[in-house]
Amino acid sequence: MFDACAIAAVIDPTILQTKAMHIDIEINGTFTRGRTVADIHDRKKLPKNVEVGTSINREKFLDILYDSLK
């Protein structure tokens, strides 16, 4: 469903609530090698580099989804 959510957000950006946060890729294998790591609590105080979707308006999303399937 993540791809459908991304496309729906392009069609109607108001369906998502977002939060700015720092995202990085773990490449050293310290915690999870190759994984995307989000500092959701801003513990490292690094510059925010992405807007992350935190919630979605379910009714609007389903309307967009159903309309696209017609």
Q: Which two tokens stand for residue 39?
A: 């500092």
60 — pLDDT class (breaks 50, 70, 90): very high
Q: Provide the whole-model pTM.
A: 0.71
Split at pLDDT 50, 70, 90, the class of 62 is very high
Q: Which residues of 33-69 are buried (b: 16+ CB within 10 A; e: fewer)?
A: eeeeeeeeeeeeeeeeeeeeeeebeeeebeebeeeee
pLDDT at res. 10: 94
**How confident is the model over 1-57, as pLDDT tens digits?**
668 999 999 999 999 999 999 999 988 877 788 899 999 999 999 999 999 999 999
45-49: long-range contacts, CB 8 A cutoff, minimum separation 24: 46/22, 47/22, 48/20, 48/21, 48/22, 49/22, 49/23
Domain boundaries in the chain?
2-69
